[in-house]
Amino acid sequence: MKDLVLSEIYIYPVKSLGGIKIYRADAGERGLKYDRRYLLVDDSGSFLTQREYPQLALLKLSIEENRFKVLDTKNGYQIYIPFEFNSGDKMDVKIWSDLCNAIRLPEEINLWFSRAISKNCTLVYMPDDERRFVEKKYVADEHIVSFADAYPYLIIGQSSLDDLNSRLDQPVKMDRFRPNFVFRGGDPYEEDTWKDFEINDVLFSAVKPCARCVITTTDQKTGARQKEPLKTLSTYRTINNKVMFGMNVVAKKSGRVSVGSKIKLV
């Protein structure tokens, strides 16, 4: 078997906005540092994602001068938000069936996002003391998660995407699937069979395949929707009427991971 090598790392500081490609990261129980700690919510406190608002894809993040820059690629506007925001007015927010405590960002930031997506919204931050637990149905131990959909990490093999693209008329990019980790060297979909694995000295545990939604049909550059790749994936990657692509993961030990590190199955 070819060596399995971590080839790409991504964080998504604001859930459902553009990701940031990085080359090393601190991995903890909640996820990669800064990953999905921010969330946009509506007036009722319910979370907003590209499922209903594909225009969120047009808001791109980058790291600039020890803060995040958010760029509205449609209008050319930009705003800055801090890496962390642990003080301010608190509010309850709902993400799926979970009710979480979060901190509101200043009103000028909320107005910027509301104008950018043409939807009244509030940007909130998950404070360090908030503990949102993953679903215990699939994991024996208690694990916490940020504002990610269900689990702290998502890993996908480059071979899996290559196999999918060989079946499509128009290939899609990995950003459709919003992984944290991408690896090279394995067979297509071999991550489906993984259990425990190590990157550097960080121990991870594969939990379950990731069920995919309409976000995968959203062009992350334009925000346009199409039928693929869900249409093709549904012909050969369906379990219990859900389309699966990638593997949900939790961390059993914290540490630093970096691109180029070997992945060891244990």
Can you give the length of the chain in residues? Answer: 266
Residues 228-262 as b/e (b if ≥16 CB within 10 A, e otherwise) read bbbebbeeebeeeeebbbbbbbbbeeeeebebebe
The position carrying tokens 């129980």 is: 29
Rounded Cα–Cα distance for residues 219 and 42 (Å): 24
pTM for this structure? Answer: 0.97
Task: Say if residues 85 and 68 touch (Cβ distance below 8 Å).
Answer: no
Largest CA distance in the chain: 54
Residue 239, beta-bridge partner list: 242
Q: What is the DSSP string of 200-238?
A: TTEEEEEEEEEEP-GGGGB-TTT--B-STTHHHHTTTSE
- CB contact burial 64-75 (16+ within 10 A = b; e otherwise): eeeebebbbbee
182 by DSSP, 3-state: which?
strand
Q: Do the Cβ atoms of 97 and 135 come closer than 8 Å?
A: no
What is the full per-residue pLDDT of the chain (266 aa) written as tens digits? 579 999 999 999 999 999 999 999 999 999 999 999 999 999 999 999 999 999 999 999 999 999 999 999 999 999 999 999 999 999 999 999 999 999 999 999 999 999 999 999 999 999 999 999 998 889 988 999 999 999 999 999 999 999 999 999 999 999 999 999 999 999 999 999 999 999 999 999 999 999 999 999 999 999 999 999 999 999 999 999 999 999 999 999 999 999 999 999 99
Put residue 214 in one of left, alpha, beta given phi > 0 → left and psi -120 to 50 → alpha: alpha
